[in-house]
Amino acid sequence: MHTCPACGWPRLKEPPHAHGGGSYEICPSCGFQPGVTDDDEGITPAAHRAAWVRQGMPWTSVARTAPRGWKPAEQVKKLPPA
């Protein structure tokens, strides 16, 4: 498993960036899409994180429900400082 660079979600199936491009996997926690949000839209992981935190750190996936006991504030704390 891999970690989302925007919110710290620890269960991405693909590395966020590999072989010179993004994985294009959408983080179910915050909605960040490596290779699209950052490379195509120009929004850094830190900027995406800040906006997500301002919105109250909502679970963004409509296809998956948040896991029981999900604590977004705890996963963000595990990220290196921006």
Q: How far apart are CA 29 and CA 11, in angstroms?
A: 10
Q: Give residue-wise pLDDT tens across range 13-70.
A: 989 886 667 887 999 999 999 988 988 899 999 999 999 999 999 999 999 999 999 9
3-state secondary structure of 11: coil
How far is it, in rounded angstroms, from Cα 74 to Cα 17? 23
Contact 52, 30 (CB under 8 A): yes
pTM: 0.91
Distance CA 23, CA 15 (A): 6
Tally of CA atoms within 13 A in the half-sphere of 57 that contains its CB: 14
